[in-house]
Amino acid sequence: MENITLDRCCIHTITTKPWALPEAVERYAAAGVKGISVWQNAIEGIGPHRAGELIRNAGLEIVSYVRGGFFPNTSSAGRAQAIDHNRKLLEEAAALGAPMIVLVCGASPDQSLETSRDQIREGIAAILPLAEKLGVKLAIEPLHPMYAADRSAINTMAQANDMAEYFKSPFVGVAVDVYHLWWDGDLEKEIARCGASGNLFAYHVCDWKVNTIDLLNDRGLMGEGCIDLKKIRGWVEATGFDGSCEVEIFSNIHWAKDQSLFLGEITNAFLKTV
């Protein structure tokens, strides 16, 4: 496996949440980072067209627009609303110039995980024609099982692979996020399966802190936790994947820091541990 360079480094805007988009773009570019994944909140007040121009003018590549999904709902009106919202997100992604949106698929604690998965399948089927028309790919992101109650009924690579393969479309694939998947004994096998079916669309990195204090906003910087990032990148690259390694960290601790210092820590950690 080759040593990584910042040419492979993409940062999610949420990682440096205190920065508005223009500052994030300027700082990432100055740090030598190549890519940016844009969270929806980052373009509020700017709009997707202007945000896209701003990013391209700085020489950054837009890797993904984050995030759609949340399809399951016990009411049909709620499910229809989710589909409408995802169509709007697809239009925004196209206007931004993002080639892909990430899907946090959703779940409802008021129904079974199987029912939620059926509704996720129906939701993706409903938005796929527009995704194909706009040329925006849909990346299903399996989430750690601690989120199975209300954030995602897709919790393993196997489940994400099953869902992606069902559609047999070059526009439906999987986003592999180490935070959610590092513990899975079948991960190597399922990453290989994902690559073999042409469905490995994205690779997200951060770390799992051993004494995590918040289930949502205490992700570790790469190297702060127990994930063997090089091993997993090896599995991902064995499939032929040579895309961005996307740094996605939600952390109250890191957001409280000077974000310029944090960005320096990110690029150092990226080069050393990813």
Binding site for Zn ion (CB under 5 A): 177, 204, 248
Compute and round to an integer the Cα radius of gyration of the chain.
Answer: 17
Q: Which residue has the tokens 């991902």?
A: 236
**Neighbour tally for 232: CB within 10 Å:** 20
Q: Considering beta carbons, is residue 137 or 204 the nearer one to Zn ion?
A: 204
Least spacing, CB of residue 169 vs Zn ion, in Å: 21
Which DSSP symbol is given to 20? Answer: -
Q: Considering beta carbons, is residue 4 or 139 the nearer one to Zn ion?
A: 139
Q: Considering beta carbons, is residue 92 or 248 the nearer one to Zn ion?
A: 248
Q: Are 164 and 194 in contact (CB under 8 A)?
A: yes
Closest CA to 69 of 108, 118, 105: 105
Least spacing, CB of residue 77 vs Zn ion, in Å: 29
Q: Are 12 and 20 in contact (CB under 8 A)?
A: no
Q: Considering beta carbons, is residue 79 or 239 the nearer one to Zn ion?
A: 239
Least spacing, CB of residue 65 vs Zn ion, in Å: 13
Least spacing, CB of residue 119 vs Zn ion, in Å: 21
Which H or E element spans position 51?
A: helix 48-57
Q: Are 165 and 199 in contact (CB under 8 A)?
A: yes
Least spacing, CB of residue 13 vs Zn ion, in Å: 13
Q: Considering beta carbons, is residue 204 or 254 the nearer one to Zn ion?
A: 204
The torsion angles phi and psi of 104, rounded to 5 degrees, stand at -90, 105
Least spacing, CB of residue 205 vs Zn ion, in Å: 9
- What is the residue-wise DSSP string for 73-84? -SSHHHHHHHHH
Q: Considering beta carbons, is residue 201 or 262 the nearer one to Zn ion?
A: 201
